[in-house]
Amino acid sequence: MSEARSLSFAEFDDLTERLGAGLLLAGLRPSERVLFQMGTCIATAVCLFACFKAGLIPVCSIPQFRRREMEQLIDATGAAAHFVQTDASRSADLAAFSRELARDHPQLRLTLAGQGDLAGSESMEALIAGVTSSQARQVLLDVDIDPEDLMKFQLSGGSTGAPKIIPRFHGEYLQHSLDWAKQFGKSKDSVCLWSLPLIHNGGQIWALFPTFLLGCKLVLCENDIDAVFDAIHRHGITHGLSIGPIAPQILAHKNIPKDKLKSLRIFGCMNRAGALEDALGVPCANVYGITEGFVAVAPPSSDPHWRHETNGMPASPHNELSVLQPDSEEPVESGGVGELCFRGPSSLVGYFNDQAASAAAYTSTGLFRTGDLVRTEQRGQQDWIVFMGRAKDNIDRGGEKFGVEDIEVLLGTHPSIADGKVVAMPDPVMGERACAFLVMRPGHSTPGVEELGEFLRSSGLARFKWPERIEVINAMPTTGVGKLDRNRLRQLARDLVQQEKMAAD
């Protein structure tokens, strides 16, 4: 359910069957790719499951993407359709954007636009209305789906500019979702809340799929802390999760309404679970997840140390973990910090149409390299992971992960900039923001944050990737062998933020 609409399982099943059949009758064919730019709403869930039933492959992009990102996905996936939510963004007309893309890319044979609750939708509602339930079931009988068939394309938040495309498959994804839901203490009696992008891996694996696998209730709400508190109270939420700015908003809230939170059994976050538990007065646990096929969390019954000081244990007992020295295959000493590497039933089989990225993603023994730095603690025979940071050059801004390569390419085209590099800087609300270090051309003035943002907007770059701080330096720092020293830039950004915080205090 959402604030605008509630659906029973029977109603959801009927809507998704009729829309799935309508898509096929409109000329799409099983295995064709469908671009998504939709928000956290009923319509997103309906369109996703309609595609699954019709054998179509959702490409799980987001409403914030603009021409640069969407054209990369069109070229990479050969997408045949584009679904947008017309009320998903106040700053952009996504229906008009979709029509522009279709005009410039004739392979997009179908564009579908609609409101988040489907009421009054332009083409989504029309397709559903054009097919009866019995007709839909007859059309879908011809669609043959195997558990090992491709289900959807998720996008990696890795270090390169263009998103790497992650194929996920029907059988493994369903089991992956069920494993995590059970470890997080969900059951058919659970009432779960999701306020972040539903199209993300986290939104589907933690919130959407367990709803149907367990038969529990899911409430979708806007990403606002007071709306979250209100939804918890009104709907009796038992399970909540924040992988973006909600947790910092809670910690910064001056008057947390604890009397409204009594239904909560567990609340998950990426870090600071101990502080969050003190603030909310309910059990909280750190979690860890990567779209390439690994999730971890501490069960709600775990002692506070394991919920607060670690990011949990693997949700699947079949995962194999190793902690290796970065850029090598040597294991770290017991308790040491190194790169988390894994394999298991849901681990990435290879990035779609990207042999170079796939080859670089694995050790010689077939373990996937996450690029995340962790240490482990052992409890019995089980390793629990503690997230320590990232080795890759990517940024996590409020749950939206992105690489810096495409930003730096565009900085190199600015007439005033001789060299530009982008790194993460810490932020108390968003977790991280982008900081640009610039070497200016002689005699040229430094662009301000707004001016640089306008330049990047004109180049078709999504707004959430724009640098939110600019620092001018005489030359980029280098390592002993003359390579760019990104660690030094990251440390400079951290030092600047820390100095400003100390001055403010």
pLDDT of residue 88: 55
Q: Answer whether 49's CB lies under 8 Å from 125's CB.
A: no
Pairing outcome for strands 217-220 and 191-194: parallel
> Residues spanned by CATH 3.40.50.980 within the chain?
9-145
Q: Answer whether 14's CB lies under 8 Å from 47's CB.
A: no
Cβ neighbours around 450 below 10 Å, total:
9
DSSP category for residue 260: G
Region of poorest pLDDT, from 82-96, 185-199, 212-226, 363-377: 82-96
Does domain 176-390 fall under CATH 3.40.50.170? My reply is no
Q: First CA to last CA across the chain, in angstroms?
A: 43
Handedness of CA 441, 442, 443, 446 (dihedral sign): positive
Amino acid type, 248:
P
Does the pLDDT of residue 286 top 60, yes or no?
yes
> Residues spanned by CATH 3.40.50.12780 within the chain?
176-390
Instruction: Report how far residue 451's alpha carbon sits from residue 94's, in angstroms, rounded to the nearest whole number.
Output: 24
Does the pLDDT of residue 429 top 50, yes or no?
yes
Mean pLDDT of the region 341-358: 94
Does the pLDDT of residue 300 top 60, yes or no?
yes
Nearest to 319 by CA among 394, 236, 383, 246: 383
Which residue has better confidence, 132 or 491? 132
pLDDT of residue 249: 79
Instruction: Report how far residue 395's alpha carbon sits from residue 323's, in angstroms, rounded to the nearest whole number.
Output: 22
The SS3 assignment for 335 reads: coil
pLDDT of residue 375: 94
Q: How confident is the model at residue 23 (pLDDT cuts 50, 70, 90)?
A: very high
Average pLDDT, the chain: 90
Nearest to 123 by CA among 203, 26, 49: 26
Predicted TM-score (pTM) of the model is: 0.84
Mean pLDDT of the region 284-294: 94
Does the pLDDT of residue 183 top 90, yes or no?
yes
The SS3 assignment for 71 reads: helix
CATH code for 9-145?
Answer: 3.40.50.980
pLDDT of residue 159: 47
Q: How confident is the model at residue 129 (pLDDT cuts 50, 70, 90)?
A: very high
> Residues spanned by CATH 3.30.300.30 within the chain?
404-504
Mean pLDDT of the region 169-194: 96
Q: How confident is the model at residue 247 (pLDDT cuts 50, 70, 90)?
A: confident
Nearest to 266 by CA among 341, 346, 386, 184: 184
Edge-to-edge order in the sheet of strand 320-324: 320-324, 338-343, 368-379, 382-390
R_g of the chain computed on alpha carbons: 23
130, burial (CB in 10 Å: exposed 0-12, middle 13-18, buried 19+): middle
The SS3 assignment for 59 reads: strand
Does the pLDDT of residue 203 top 60, yes or no?
yes
Mean pLDDT of the region 403-432: 87
CATH superfamily to which 404-504 belongs: ANL, C-terminal domain (3.30.300.30)
